[in-house]
A and B are shown apart, each in its own frame.
Chain A
Amino acid sequence: MKTSAKPAGVLVLLIAASCVPFIADGYWLSIAVTIVMYTALSTSWALFSGPTHLIALSTGAFYGVGGYLVATGMSDFGASFWTMAALAPLAALLLAGAIGVATLRLSGVYFVIFTLGLAEMIRNLVSWVQNNFLGSRGLYVLTELEERHIYWMLLAVTAAIFLFGWRLGRSRMGFALRILGNDEEVARHVGIDTARTKILLFMSTGFFAALVGAIVAPRYYYIEPNVVFSPELSFLVVIMALLGGTRHLWGPLLGVVPFTLLWETVSATFPNATTMMLGVAFLAIVYLIPDGITGLAAKLKPRRLS
């Protein structure tokens, strides 16, 4: 009974979500776009970082690669938005693969450190290339796309990520991942290629983050490396995913919705205190709700005997 009710419920939710642009416009539509964007980013983040316990701070870097490639392709090479939106995630896929091969075969802490400065490093590199070889003019992303089109595209990506996550949970690789997350030593002994599993999953995270970055690019109109390679984005994604909890596929969603609404209010009321608030949010998660909202809910709910 439960198994047949679930997909139906998800479908209803999806249809309801796709109707949002018909009833909301202006401010609320832009909030809705932000919510869907962060849902996509933090759900795909949690697919990798949840089971592996590796805090990836590369979301901003891949998102930036997506946005920047769309902008430079359209402005410097006259490519169409659709070509670039298709190419950008593939480029990020390769980049993530290379980073994974270099760092994920070693102890996890190297990976975290490598991703920490990644967005900033790529931004420096891109600015240098832009200034010296492509001419330092602004990059324009001029399309016919409106806010609601961006919303629908992001919703489709989010649905794809959920489908991917759901399939992953039922696949051999998802099983391998759960063993790996519980004990890497055991995973290696039963013949799981732990490095390969981690690298492949990290590549999926890079792919989706760049795809989201590419889709959101028309929202900026004018793109500068400083804008799209935002380290803050990486941290927000981590906070939202951990706030919701990473044990369930829909966990991050429960973090994204309240946090986005809260963050909008906070950054509008105290624009100078956002950095400090970010710090407080991290500390609150570590000390007060280490397992996220879903973990908290599981603890409060009385255990059913089965």
Chain B
Amino acid sequence: MNPDDLIGKLSGPLSLRSRIGNVVALLGGLGGALFIGLLWATEPALPGRTHLAFGVLVALGLAWAGYGVWALTRRTPLFALDRVIAAWLAVVATGLLTAGTIAVAVARGTWVSTAGVLVAVTLAVLAVVILIRARAARAALLRRKGELGG
């Protein structure tokens, strides 16, 4: 097998689109599940079918998040640039989640919605820390590349 054939066979894990797609699946699934779960938990009275629909939506979100985790840990690695892009996506996603949970908390004013805000803020802080670390790691690699004449 020559190198070109090999690169062709490895195109999946090497594709930027597939790596970022997995990040989007993880963040979208997790954020969606948390937000819908919060709406579900803070709604005072719902008919049975609506409970079922919320449950299905939360399960779908968690399934996508689980797929994203599995794909990123087992199938497609994140290189330095991918990590920075993924971290920015996480910052945006958790920012939206925080804004959404704050809106729910203001409207409902229950302890569950306050807890939802705390979870969202925690995730947002985590995303910012990940972004800072990813940028630092990429900068270190770029410095090393420069030292090596690249």
Q: Do A and B originate from a single complex?
A: no
Residues of A within 8 A of B (CB): none
